[in-house]
């Protein structure tokens, strides 16, 4: 494994804000002044919501107990990074055989200061992607043929020689793009023509959520920014707590009705009014550890998910929780370290722990049905080099968040494999070799499952 892959796959994908290679980072809100933020988060005390002696193990009372998951149903489009505004997708009728239908290059791979962090989206018979240098492309969903390509990397700003982060979202025939190059843009989804482009003070690391005529995303410095979807004009902003170190990614906000739920590198989970950004509630998913300095990285890197009145989120600090959407009260929590999005489905919620354990818990109580270790049997090996000089030790695979398709949990990993797991039992059913590391969650649309690899390939599995 190369040093570049190590830096991508280890959780030490962490940056000191202000030392970012893409730019000088301002600690202030990008839209300060007379059009400044309507809400500013106050400094608060972080209190652990997970008991120190809480253990992660299946509940004896649930042994042999069945649970319900949603029935298989057709999913025509996956227009937002999380599928829907609530970032919750149910049992897709896709990827029956998990055979590779086609693979296509989408641009520049992850290398140097550029990293592919944008999950694909699919709508209107097209799949949209963004490469490691803000190159946006559209491919035919059935054949994989490239329909258009537009490069949004600015040429007039010497500060932005390197950048990463951002993503794409589709709404009403338009494609919305955010980028680490300080760009938010609207494109014609049929032609790739840029309709409007707005520059921002800070790089944007999250893919956008577009709902209710508003584009929402999170910047590198924990600012939730919004823009008018029609014109690109900046709207209200919300400043989360600044954090000196974080994982080099950010999650897309979730929206349900008039409530926006955003997560930040500080470990904050915040609910706001979508109309004006007024604060409804704020909780910290934080769990201090005396044995791991990495627990001080509190980032909620995965997308928060709203499902049937609850918000599900997991932090790198070791808190996986269900929070009441209306009140902000914690319903339950588990000591799980994670960097991906939970997947609530019917009676249960699934979450991928950082160490490769896939956990199935009761959605109502948090009691665990089963734990499946996707890295079971892994043996670290040294490869490359000459007489072991310059060799690299292989790392345990890191896995994406799961999606549910035809009663199977589908995940992709840094090992270059796609894995399907029985959603009821946790038994591993199949491993498919993709030929390149995958760090992004797959999506499903039509009869296909799509993944984007770290080497800038879009792969469709029928």
Confidence tier at 163 by pLDDT (50, 70, 90): confident
In a domain, 456, yes or no: no
Answer whether residue 39 is part of any domain. no
pLDDT of residue 11: 38
State whether residue 408 is helix, strand or coil.
strand
Q: What is the pTM of this model?
A: 0.88
Q: What percent of the chain has pLDDT above 90?
A: 73
Residue 446 covered by a domain: no
Cβ density class 218-233: b for 16+ within 10 Å, e for less: bbbbbbbbbbebeebe
In angstroms, what CA-CA distances link 214 with 150, 260, 278? 23, 11, 15
Residue 269 lies in a domain: yes
Structure tokens at 37: 């933020």
- 128-155 pLDDT, tens digit per residue, is 999 989 999 999 999 999 999 999 998 7
When comparing pLDDT for 229 and 110, which is higher? 229
pLDDT on residue 296: 65
pLDDT for residue 74 is more than 70: yes
Report the pLDDT value the prediction gives residue 115, as an integer from 0 to 100: 87
| 268 occurs within a structural domain | yes
- Domain tally for the chain? 1
Provide the token pair at 436. 């390149």
**Is 405 among the domain residues?**
no
Say what the pLDDT of residue 297 is. Answer: 78
Min mean pLDDT across 30-44, 169-183, 278-292, 301-315 is at 30-44
Residue 368: its pLDDT value, please? Answer: 98
> What pLDDT is recorded for position 392?
65
Distance CA 176, CA 197 (A): 10
For the cut 60, the answer to whether the pLDDT of residue 168 exceeds it is yes
List pLDDT tens digits, range 370-427. 999 999 988 776 666 555 555 567 789 999 999 999 999 999 999 999 999 999 999 9
Tokens of 152: 């949004």
* Domain annotation covers residue 102: no
In angstroms, the CA 15 to CA 13 distance is 7
pLDDT at 388: 55
- Pairing mode of beta strands 183-188, 194-199: antiparallel
Tens of pLDDT along 172-186? 999 999 999 999 999
Domain span holding position 294 = 3-28+50-68+107-374
The CATH number of residue 24's host domain is 2.130.10.10
Residue 412 falls inside a structural domain:
no
Task: Report pLDDT for 384.
Answer: 63
DSSP-assigned states of every residue in 34-92: TT--SEEPPP------S-TT------GGGTT-----PPPB----B-BTTBSTT-----B
Q: Residue 453 pLDDT more than 90? A: yes
């Amino acid at each position: 494994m190369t040093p570049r892959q190590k830096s991508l796959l280890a959780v030490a994908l962490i940056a000191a804000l202000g030392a970012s290679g893409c730019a000088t980072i301002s600690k202030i809100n990008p839209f300060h002044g007379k059009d400044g933020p309507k809400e500013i988060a106050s400094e608060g005390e972080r209190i652990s919501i997970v008991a120190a002696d809480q253990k992660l193990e299946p509940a004896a009372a649930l042994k042999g107990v069945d649970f319900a998951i949603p029935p298989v149903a057709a999913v025509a489009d996956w227009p937002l990074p999380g599928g829907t505004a609530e970032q919750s997708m149910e049992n897709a009728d896709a990827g029956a055989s998990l055979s590779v239908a086609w693979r296509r290059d989408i641009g520049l791979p992850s290398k140097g200061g550029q990293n592919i962090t944008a999950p694909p989206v699919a709508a209107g018979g097209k799949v949209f992607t963004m490469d490691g240098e803000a190159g946006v492309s559209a491919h035919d969903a059935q054949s994989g043929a490239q329909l258009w390509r537009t490069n949004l990397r600015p040429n007039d700003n010497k500060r932005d020689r390197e950048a990463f982060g951002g993503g794409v979202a589709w709404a009403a025939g338009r494609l919305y793009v955010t980028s680490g190059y300080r760009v938010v843009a609207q494109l014609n989804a049929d032609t790739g023509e840029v309709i409007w482009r707005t520059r921002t003070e800070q790089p944007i690391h999250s893919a956008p959520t577009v709902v209710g005529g508003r584009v929402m995303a999170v910047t590198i410095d924990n600012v939730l920014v919004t823009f008018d979807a029609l014109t690109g004009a900046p709207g209200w902003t919300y400043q989360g707590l600044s954090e000196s170190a974080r994982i080099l990614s950010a999650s897309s906000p979730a929206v349900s009705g008039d409530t926006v739920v955003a997560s930040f590198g500080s470990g904050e989970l915040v609910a706001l009014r979508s109309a004006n950004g007024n604060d409804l509630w704020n909780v910290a998913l934080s769990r201090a550890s005396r044995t791991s300095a990495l627990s001080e990285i509190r980032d909620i890197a995965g997308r928060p998910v709203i499902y049937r009145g609850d918000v599900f989120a997991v932090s790198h600090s070791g808190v996986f929780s269900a929070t009441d959407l209306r009140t902000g009260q914690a319903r339950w929590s588990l000591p799980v370290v994670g960097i991906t999005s939970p997947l609530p489905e019917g009676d249960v919620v699934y979450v991928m722990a950082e160490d490769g354990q896939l956990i199935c818990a009761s959605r109502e109580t948090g009691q665990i049905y089963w734990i499946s270790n996707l890295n079971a049997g892994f043996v670290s090996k040294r490869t490359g080099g000459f007489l072991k000089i310059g060799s690299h030790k292989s790392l345990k695979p890191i896995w994406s968040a799961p999606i549910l398709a035809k009663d199977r949990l589908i995940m992709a990993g840094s090992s270059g494999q796609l894995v399907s797991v029985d959603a009821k039992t946790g038994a591993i059913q199949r491993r498919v070799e993709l030929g390149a590391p995958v760090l992004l969650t797959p999506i499903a649309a039509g009869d296909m499952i799509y993944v984007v690899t770290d080497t800038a390939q879009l792969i469709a599995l029928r």
